[in-house]
A and B are shown apart, each in its own frame.
Chain A
Amino acid sequence: MTPIRFAAAALAVLSLLALAYLWLAGGQGTLVRATVLPEPRPVSRAALVDMHGQPFDIGQVAGEWQLLFFGFANCPDICPITLQQLATARRRLAEAGAAPLPGILFISVDPARDTPAVLADYAGRFGEDVIGATGEPDALRELAGSLGVFFEAADDGSDSYEVSHSAAVLLINPDGELHAVFSAPQDVDALVNDLAILTGA
Chain B
Amino acid sequence: MMRPRLALFLASLALSAACAERTPDVIDAYGYLPLVDDGPAVAYFMLRNPTARRLEVSAIACPPFARVELHETRLEDGVSRMRRLGSPAIEPGGKLELRPGGTHLMLMQAPSPIEAGAACSLAVRLADGSVLATSVKLSERGTGGPGS
Q: Which residues of A contact B (CB under 8 A)?
A: 73-74, 76-78, 80-81, 84, 87, 118, 121-122, 125-126, 150, 160, 162, 164-168, 183-185
Contacts and interface: CB of A to CB of B under 8 A. Distances in A.
A174 B122 CA distance: 48
23 contacts: A73-B35, A73-B36, A73-B39, A74-B39, A74-B40, A76-B42, A76-B106, A77-B100, A77-B101, A77-B104, A80-B35, A84-B142, A118-B36, A118-B37, A122-B35, A126-B142, A150-B78, A164-B80, A166-B80, A167-B79, A167-B80, A168-B78, A183-B78
B143 to A, nearest CB: 10
Contacts of A81: 100-101, 147
Contacts of A73: 35-36, 39
B5 interface: no
Interface string B107-133: 010000000000000000000000000
A166 B104 contact: no
B45 interface: no
Interface of B: 32, 34-37, 39-42, 71, 73, 75, 78-82, 100-101, 104, 106, 108, 140-142, 147-148
B3 to A, nearest CB: 58
A164 B81 contact: yes
A118 B81 CA distance: 22
Nearest to B44: A77
A185 B75 CA distance: 8
B78 A184 contact: yes
Contacts of A84: 141-142, 148
Given A76-B42, A76-B106, A125 B78 contact: no
Nearest to B34: A76
Contacts of A184: 75, 78, 80
Nearest to B141: A80
B101 A125 contact: no
Nearest to B147: A81
B78 A167 contact: yes
Contacts of A168: 78
A164 B82 CA distance: 7
B36 A121 contact: yes
Nearest to B104: A77
